[in-house]
């Protein structure tokens, strides 16, 4: 019996047949998965097992996480080539399967192989059940096959992933099997979409572009969308966002997407995403080295658009509000200056001591607006600080919260997603560094100690008593080198964690 996934029937399928029953073409490979403690897969001919052992003895392939190799079968298998992918130590979790799938598909595409057949039960010991495993594999194949768009005169020749077929032996219920593949597809597709947005050059993606993309999503998936322009920001008192964006020829926008999956607009989760489409630092100008990476400073907003895309596809029974304050932080004769004191939608005033700490200023208005629109709990996502990179490197997203129970739920969602999330302390003493003698709060501290924490706590002042979590993706939203399921460039970090929290 064969089945096709309803979300992307062009890509994923499954069969209960044996691999020997198929007629693979030259562009197809059969994928096996191995843990480090296990012998080569028993279904293989002895000649191929010996070849795998030889790779291990030559220290070419040790079945570690992220390892994969392609072997020609030389007529010893119906498939012209096989791919072996490592799961690391025995007892592989879902993330190990994601990483193995990503490694396998990258190796396949590099060798010109666009069709894969998967032996999902090719290891004996695993911590994940078959359906969780297939969902993780689906995510891994889609995430690992991601290509960053180029703008070269002659486009590079690339082999794309054409087909993935699962050989399933456990006779899982068809509806559950289809749901596992479909969910994996949607989560990975949302992440890849956020990656595309994050990687878009700053000259092609300005606040108005971000607003247009939100409107396109709303139309495509039946969401409600509202966009406030710079004049409306002034009228409504959103002066934090207005002042950050006023130095650019591309005026700021406040973008709102609303999904109502419950009969009443209550129990609303508010998502607030930083949408700085390019950050020069403003008058407090950044150094030239690495400034090109600031195309990713709208990574928080990109994550929210990815999340809302997935929610629009899945239609869960939840209420979700996405608020994206979007601006371009530029130096000019109109730009915000160090020493300025500005008001915000909340009525609180900010002493601007550093115009390069602009993200927290626009998020202040975003958080207040989310509360006004009915959010009962709030998660903000932002490439907020370089300090989080100093603290956690590019391996984990930092989190600050005013509600430990809320935070615990999100940490559990991150564990399920395979994304790394680390809670930072929010001791009251840290807030002392944000006190101002001329305004309610200042946007940057004198010595920048604990910068990831104080930056988050600045936003928390505007959340007030509303349960709130701040996610600082300053180290994880954009990578300089491919790692695990993530590519070089935009990663879409936290899309899948948020979806695991929202949809379960």
pLDDT tens digits, one per residue of 117-140: 998 766 555 666 888 999 999 999
Residue 164 backbone dihedrals phi, psi, to 5 degrees: -130, 125
Positions of the chain with pLDDT lower than 70, given as ranges: 1-10, 21-22, 121-128, 172
- Cβ neighbours around 359 below 10 Å, total: 31
- CA 305 to CA 303: how far, in whole Å? 5
Residue with tokens 């992933």: 161
Domains annotated for the chain, with CATH where assigned, are: 2-168 (3.40.220.10), 193-503 (3.40.630.10)
Task: Confirm or deny that 274 is annotated as ligand binding.
Answer: yes
- CA 87 to CA 104: how far, in whole Å? 11
Q: Which residue, 105, 195, 146, is CA-closest to 489?
A: 195
Q: Considering 215, 286, 431, 483, which one is annotated as catalytic?
A: 286
Q: Considering 98, 360, 442, 496, which one is annotated as catalytic?
A: 360
- Cβ neighbours around 88 below 10 Å, total: 21
Task: Confirm or deny that 50 is annotated as ligand binding.
Answer: no
- CA 133 to CA 371: how far, in whole Å? 38
152 classed as catalytic: no
Instruction: Print burial letters for 23-49: b (CB count within 10 Å at least 16), e (below 16).
Output: ebeebbbbbbbbbbebebbebbeeebb
Task: Confirm or deny that 358 is annotated as ligand binding.
Answer: yes
360 classed as catalytic: yes
Over the stretch 174-215, which tens digit does the pLDDT of each residue have?
A: 888 889 999 999 999 999 999 999 999 999 999 999 999 999
- CA 411 to CA 405: how far, in whole Å? 10
- CA 365 to CA 367: how far, in whole Å? 6
Quote the pLDDT of residue 19: 75
């Amino acid at each position: 019996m064969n089945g096709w996934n309803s979300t992307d029937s062009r890509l994923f399928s499954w069969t209960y047949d044996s691999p020997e029953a198929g007629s693979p073409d030259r562009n197809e490979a059969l994928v096996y998965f191995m843990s480090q403690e296990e012998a080569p897969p028993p279904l293989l001919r002895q000649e191929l097992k010996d070849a795998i052992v030889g790779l291990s003895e030559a220290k070419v392939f040790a079945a570690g996480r992220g390892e994969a190799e392609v072997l020609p079968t030389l007529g010893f298998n119906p498939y012209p080539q096989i791919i072996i992918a490592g799961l690391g130590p025995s007892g592989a979790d879902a993330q190990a399967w994601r990483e193995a799938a990503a490694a396998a598909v990258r190796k396949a595409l590099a060798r010109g192989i666009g069709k894969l057949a998967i032996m999902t039960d090719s290891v004996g010991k695993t911590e994940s059940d078959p359906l969780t495993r297939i969902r993780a594999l689906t995510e891994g194949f889609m995430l690992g096959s991601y290509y960053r768009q180029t703008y070269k005169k002659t486009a590079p020749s690339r082999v794309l992933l054409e087909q993935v077929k699962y050989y399933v032996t456990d006779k899982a219920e068809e509806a559950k099997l289809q749901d596992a593949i479909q969910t994996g597809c949607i989560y990975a597709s949302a992440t890849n979409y956020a990656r595309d947005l994050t990687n878009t050059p700053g000259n092609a993606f300005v606040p108005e572009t971000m607003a247009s993309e939100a409107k396109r999503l709303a139309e495509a998936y039946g969401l409600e969308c509202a966009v406030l322009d710079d004049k409306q920001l002034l009228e409504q008192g959103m002066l934090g966002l207005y002042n950050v964006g006023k130095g650019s020829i591309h005026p700021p926008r406040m973008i709102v997407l609303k999904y109502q999956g419950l009969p009443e607009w209550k129990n609303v989760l508010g998502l607030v995403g930083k949408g700085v489409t390019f950050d020069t630092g403003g008058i407090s100008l950044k150094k030239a080295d690495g400034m090109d990476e600031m195309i990713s400073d709208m990574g928080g907003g990109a994550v929210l658009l990815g999340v809302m895309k997935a929610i629009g596809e899945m239609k869960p029974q939840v209420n979700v509000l996405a608020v994206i304050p979007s601006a371009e932080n530029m130096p000019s004769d109109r730009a915000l200056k160090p020493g300025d004191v500005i008001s915000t939608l909340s009525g609180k005033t900010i002493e601007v001591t550093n115009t390069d700490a602009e993200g927290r200023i626009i998020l202040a208005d975003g958080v207040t607006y989310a509360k006004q629109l009915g959010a009962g709990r709030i998660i903000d996502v932002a490439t907020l600080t370089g300090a989080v990179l100093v603290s956690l490197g590019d391996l984990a997203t930092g989190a600050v919260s005013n509600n430990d129970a809320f935070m615990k739920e999100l940490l559990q969602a991150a564990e399920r997603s395979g994304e790394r999330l680390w809670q930072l302390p929010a001791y009251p003493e840290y807030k002392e560094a944000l006190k101002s003698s001329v305004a309610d709060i200042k946007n940057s501290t004198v010595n920048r100690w604990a910068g990831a924490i104080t930056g988050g706590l600045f936003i928390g002042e505007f959340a007030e008593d509303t349960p709130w979590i701040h996610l600082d993706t300053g180290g994880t939203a954009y990578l300089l080198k491919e790692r695990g399921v993530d590519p070089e460039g935009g990663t879409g970090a936290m899309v899948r964690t948020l979806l695991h929290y929202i949809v379960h």
